[in-house]
Each structure stands twice: as C-alpha cells, then as structure tokens.
Amino acid sequence: MGEIVDTIIAWLSTHQEIAGPALGGLCLFLCLGIVGILITAPPVLMAVGGLIAAGSLDAVPMVLWAAAGGTLGFVITYWVGRWLGPGVVHRWPLKNYRRAVARSRLLFRRYASLAVFFCRFFGPLRCTVPLIAGITGMNQRRFYIANIASALIWAPAFMAPGWIAVRGMAELEAVGEAHWLSLTVAGLAFAAVVVALGFKFQRARLERQRLRRRRIAARRNA
C-alpha cells in the first residue's frame, strides 16, 4: 500500500495542472463499494496534505476535488445498491465481508442519516453503508445531505495530519489563539447542526413508522 501511495503522490506532484481532477477521480474510485474495503483513501489524502503544506498544490481546489470525488463515489454506490436489491449481500464479493455488512445494516437501521455521515471516517463502513442505504431504499434527499456534509469534512480532516507533519507544530503555535478558538467554535457548531438535523430526521422517520404500524394494526382489527 505504501508503494502505491508513493507512486500516486509522485505523479500528482509532477502533474500539478491536473492534480485536482486526478485526486477527485481517485477519491471517487476509492469510495466505490468493494474498492473502498480493499483500498483506503486516508493515506493518499494525508500525503496530499503534505504536498499542500510544501506549496506544491493549492489547498482549496484539492479539498473541493477530493470532497466531490468522495461524494460521487458514495452516490454511485448508493444507486448500485438500489439497482441490485437486498439479495446482493448474499453474493460475492459482499458475502466475504459479512461482518462489515452486518455492522453497516445495524448502524443504518438505528441511525440512518448519521450512519451515512459518520461511516466515511471508519474503514470498511465507508463503502458498505452507502450500499446498504441503496439496498434498503433510503430517502434520496436525506442521503445526499448526509453524504455531501460528510465529504466536506472528510477531505480536509484527513489532509490535516500530512499538512501538520510538514509544517510542524512551531508554525501552528504562531497562529493566534483567537483564530484557533474561532475555527474550533465554527467546527463544533457545524458538527452540532449536522448531528441535530440527523436526529431530527431520524425521529421523524421513527414517528412515521410508528404511525404506519398503528394504521396497519387498526385496519387488521377493523
């Protein structure tokens, strides 16, 4: 895996004019279904963060291209899940990853939008949860909101360690305390909004399910 990452980073550093689209395409590929289980994106993003710190690449375009690629990868995985249907979890290659699939289904049943948002940060769940979302027919709007929000945080979050490693803690200390406080508050506020919306949608979904069950029970007893 290390040699692959080194090759990718060497190529990006020598093709800076197309590094953004290339990174977007790579993130798309690494966020597709089974591919994301076999090969992970974080090492590449961390290395890209190092190139950004060294001045070889621009931060904003790389973050946006990576987020766009990761978002599209999840969207494709979601629609593949809708197309394949529930039976796909019993066929190759997913049948060889039953534990990851089972965890994804459990997370999705309990938390839905929150599962889609947070799965991007946790290994094999990164690509099995969007597939399960498609298989179970998750509401498209809720899926897209959680998907885009998580991608916009995922890309810079995994680039940050590489950036810090190159720039060093000394330069971070030069950043004003008020600036860091404002960034922390903004990040926490954004995360709180996302979590609050996720819980709101989840409660609404559970309430609709309870009402549906009550109507079905009432019809049976009529």
Its pTM stands at 0.68
Is residue 68's pLDDT more than 90?
yes
Is residue 170's pLDDT more than 50?
no
Computed over every residue of the chain, the mean pLDDT equals 76
Question: Averaged over 47-55, what is the pLDDT?
Answer: 86
Is residue 119's pLDDT more than 60?
yes
Is residue 110's pLDDT more than 60?
yes
- The residues, ordered by sequence, that sit 6+ positions from 27 with a Cβ below 8 Å of its Cβ are 41, 44, 45, 65, 66, 67, 68, 69, 70, 73, 155
Tokens standing for residue 52:
């950004």
* Least confident interval from 12-26, 129-143, 203-217: 203-217
DSSP the chain: -HHHHHHHHHHHHH-GGGHHHHHHHHHHHHTSHHHHHHS-SHHHHHHHHHHHHTTSS-HHHHHHHHHHHHHHHHHHHHHHHHHH-GGGGGSTTGGGGHHHHHHHHHHHHHHTHHHHHHHTTSTTHHHHHHHHHHHTT--HHHHHHHHHHHHHHHHHHHHHHHHHHHH-HHHHHTS-HHHHHHHHHHHHHHHHHHHHHHHHHHHHHHHHHHHHHHHHHHHHH-
Is residue 103's pLDDT more than 50?
yes
pLDDT value of residue 11: 86
Tokens standing for residue 119:
């799965």
Share of the chain above pLDDT 70, in %: 64
pLDDT value of residue 197: 67
Q: How confident is the model at residue 16 (pLDDT cuts 50, 70, 90)?
A: confident
Q: How confident is the model at residue 128 (pLDDT cuts 50, 70, 90)?
A: confident
Instruction: Residue 81: count other Cβ atoms within 10 Å of its Cβ.
Output: 24
Q: How confident is the model at residue 31 (pLDDT cuts 50, 70, 90)?
A: confident
Spans of all domains in the chain = 2-169, 176-222
